[in-house]
Amino acid sequence: MVDPDEGSPTPRRGSDVDEPGTSGTSGTGGSPRAAAASGTFSIGGDMTVNRLGYGTMQLTGHGVWGPPEDRVAAVAVLRRAVELGVNLFDTADSYGPHVAEELLFEALHPYPDDLVIATKAGLVRTGPGQWSPVGRPEYLRQAAEMSLRRLGLECIALFQLHRIDPEVPAEEQIGVLRELQDEGKVAHIGLSEVSVEELRLGQSVATIATVQNRYNLTDRASEDLLEVCSEEGIGFIPWFPIATGELARDGGPLADLTEQIGATAAQVALAWLLNRSQVMLPIPGTSSIEHLEENVGSVEVSLTTEQLDALDAMA
């Protein structure tokens, strides 16, 4: 199994969200606390984060296996993200495995008071680029306990089921997450790569605070799920958020539009996501401070109604 995580044009309004700031297209994203301009969202109604987050998958080795080539640089990227106002960090025990969680602890512990770490469990690794779902309740419980240790936490702010294991009843997998929540080891529960039907099943067992599905300019297969999340105030974390594919080729429709806007393709892709729904929480990942600052610069990209319509039509 291959896991490629991280990787209405008018925003819906809700009582638990604030609109993102838009201050033109000339900024670099390098100013202190810049990510705050993305607006805020309250995960589970009580855990407020800036909507533009950061995904840690790219900090590991090739194939999301092993340590980074430059550990010092990886730590520097995480610390720079905090300086830029990013306070939602998405990770998983399978990234490395364990490497990304360990890097978060090394770089950021003791954590700022407003920092939220969202981790995941439910995929095991047998080698670079290889992923297999394991949803046995005893395994998920052990994974949570080990993530707590690696991250130096007493409670995981957002614990996500990385994939539903088809060999184990979904109710049992989500049920053990609910048990961990009742025990105070998990604050909020999320699901990853689910359908609307699977979300409904999950909601019959526990309160689901977020879902994390692939969603970007070129892949909108989860549009129906996004609509449900927008209506119900469930955080929607799009992985692979800056994918643009052939749209960004020289002379392509996105290339022409980015030139008009005065921003990069990645910035426009992220700005489009932030405008797509107020529950949208993009988590672009990178191992480069330069690209991190470019991504955060997306909060300064102001898109007109006509530009949003053009981006919508590119699917």
1 in any annotated domain: no
Is 50 exceeded by the pLDDT of residue 140? Answer: yes
218: left (phi over 0), alpha (psi -120 to 50) or beta: alpha
In the numeric block, the tokens 């090394």 are attached to 106
138 in any annotated domain: yes
What's the pLDDT band for 6 if we cut at 50, 70, 90?
Answer: low
3 in any annotated domain: no
55 in any annotated domain: yes
What's the pLDDT band for 250 if we cut at 50, 70, 90?
Answer: confident
Residue by residue, what is the 3-state secondary structure of the chain? CCCCCCCCCCCCCCCCECCCCCCCCCCCCCCCCHHHHHCEEEECCCEEEECCCEECHHHCCHHHECCCCCHHHHHHHHHHHHHCCCCEEECCCCCECCHHHHHHHHHHCCCCCCCEEEEEECEEEEECCEEEECCCHHHHHHHHHHHHHHHCCCCEEEEEECCCCCCCCHHHHHHHHHHHHHCCCEEEEEEECCCHHHHHHHHCCCCEEEEEEECCCCCCCCHHHHHHHHHHCCEEEEECCCCCHHHHCCCCHHHHHHHHHCCCHHHHHHHHHHHHCCCECCCCCCCCHHHHHHHHHHHHCCCCHHHHHHHHCCC
135 in any annotated domain: yes
Phi, psi of 103 (to 5 degrees): -65, -40
Residues in contact with 58: Cβ distance below 8 Å, sequence separation at least 6, in sequence order: 6, 7, 285, 286, 287
Is 60 exceeded by the pLDDT of residue 22? Answer: no
Mean pLDDT throughout 58-74?
98
95 classed as catalytic: yes
> How confident is the model at residue 245, as a pLDDT?
85
Q: How far apart are CA 164 and CA 122, in angstroms?
A: 7
Mean pLDDT throughout 197-223?
98
110 in any annotated domain: yes
Structural domains of the chain, count = 1
Mean pLDDT throughout 261-280?
98
Tokens of 267: 């910035």
Mean pLDDT throughout 205-223?
98
> How confident is the model at residue 280, as a pLDDT?
99
CATH code of 70's domain: 3.20.20.100
Tens of pLDDT, residues 36-63? 999 999 999 999 999 999 999 999 999 9
Residues in contact with 133: Cβ distance below 8 Å, sequence separation at least 6, in sequence order: 1, 122, 123, 124, 162, 163, 164, 165, 166, 167
Is 60 exceeded by the pLDDT of residue 18? Answer: no
What's the pLDDT band for 29 if we cut at 50, 70, 90?
Answer: low
Name the active-site residue from 95, 111, 139, 215: 95
Mean pLDDT throughout 66-78?
98
22 in any annotated domain: no
Provide the mean pLDDT of the chain.
Answer: 92
Q: How far apart are CA 198 and CA 177, in angstroms?
A: 15
Is 60 exceeded by the pLDDT of residue 19? Answer: no
> How confident is the model at residue 20, as a pLDDT?
40
Tens of pLDDT, residues 224-242? 999 999 999 999 999 999 9
Mean pLDDT throughout 173-200?
99
9 in any annotated domain: no
Q: Which domain holds residue 297?
A: 34-312
Is 80 exceeded by the pLDDT of residue 266? Answer: yes
Mean pLDDT throughout 177-206?
99
What's the pLDDT band for 248 if we cut at 50, 70, 90?
Answer: confident
